[in-house]
Amino acid sequence: MNRRHGFTLVEMLIVLAIMAILTSIAWPSYAGYIVRTRRTEGQVALIEAMQRQERYFLRHNTYIPFSAASEDDADAAAFPWWSGDRAALSAYELDAYACPGRALTDCIEIRARPGTPRVDVRFRDPDCGALTLDSLGNHSAQGTADGQGAGATGRCWP
Residue spans per domain, the chain: 41-147
The predicted model gives 88-115 an average pLDDT of 94
Give percent of the chain with pLDDT exceeding 90.
66
In the chain, what is the straight-line distance between the N-terminal and C-terminal CA atoms, in Å? 68
At residue 71, the pLDDT reads 75
Residue 151 scores a pLDDT above 50: no
What is the signed CA dihedral for 20, 23, 28, 34, rounded to 10 degrees?
A: -140
Mean per-residue pLDDT of the chain: 89
Q: For the ranges 57-66, 121-130, 147-156, which has the lowest average pLDDT?
A: 147-156
The predicted model gives 29-53 an average pLDDT of 93
Pure H helices in the chain: 9-60, 74-77
Q: Is 108 helix (H, G, I), strand (E, B) or coil?
A: strand
Output the CA torsion sign for 22, 115, 145, 85. Answer: positive
Cα distance between residue 51 and residue 59, in whole Å? 13
